[in-house]
Structure formats: structure tokens, C-alpha cells
Amino acid sequence: MARARGYAVTVEELTDPEAQKSARGIPLNLASCHTVEADGYVFEGHVPFEALEAVLKDRPDITGLAVPGMPMGSPGMGDDPSARYDVIAFGGEAGTGTVYYRAGTARPFDT
């Protein structure tokens, strides 16, 4: 999906996922299946591109975004546009976690 959107992608297997996610500042309660590092931010789990691209454009004072678990309808999990789940910002101004984006709502950035 990322390559199709024009992103250069390098895949790396984590040898100690818990320690490596923790070293990147990802709270363990927000950990998921995939970790992406992009332009100084960390994106954990099935984060929608709209939220990821907003962070890369707006440059908020956060470590990154996470979608804990693997919610059905999130990107790569059925891509159901009516699926509802929260994308959590963490680190920096977001502290241990605040809602950044509400997927599946009419106004996802209104938190």
C-alpha cells in the first residue's frame, strides 16, 4: 500500500519486537503488529494514510501514532470505510496517549 502511494519502503524484521518498539518510544499498551519509521515519527499498527500524512505535513510535537491491536476494517484488515476505531498519538505533547484521529467518522480529526 505504501509503495503504491509513492513511499520508498525498506522492510526489516524485528529480532526483539518488545524491546525495539519500546526503544522507539511506543508504549507497550499501544503496540501492534507493524512498526513504521518515517521522517522522524513512528507509526504503529494499521494507521490510516490520512492520519499518517497529516502528521508528516503538520509536524506535531509527538513521537507518533498507533492503532492498538488489529481492528477489523482498518487498512489491510478489510478496508471497511464504515469501520470505527481510534488512532492514538503518543509521546511529546500527547503524553502516554491521546486520540488524534477517529477513523470511520464524518470528521475524523475532531477529537
Residue-level pLDDT at 11: 84
Distance CA 14, CA 57 (A): 27
Are β-strands 35-38 and 85-90 bridged in parallel, bridged antiparallel, or unpaired? unpaired
Supply the pTM of this predicted model: 0.86
Residue-level pLDDT at 59: 98
Q: How confident is the model at residue 74 (pLDDT cuts 50, 70, 90)?
A: confident
Distance CA 110, CA 35 (A): 25
Q: What percent of the chain has pLDDT over 90?
A: 50
Q: Where is average pLDDT lowest: 19-23, 78-82, 83-87, 98-102?
A: 78-82
Q: How many CB atoms lie within 10 A of CB 108?
A: 19
Residue-level pLDDT at 79: 67
DSSP 93: G
Average pLDDT (59-84) is: 82
Average pLDDT (68-92) is: 81
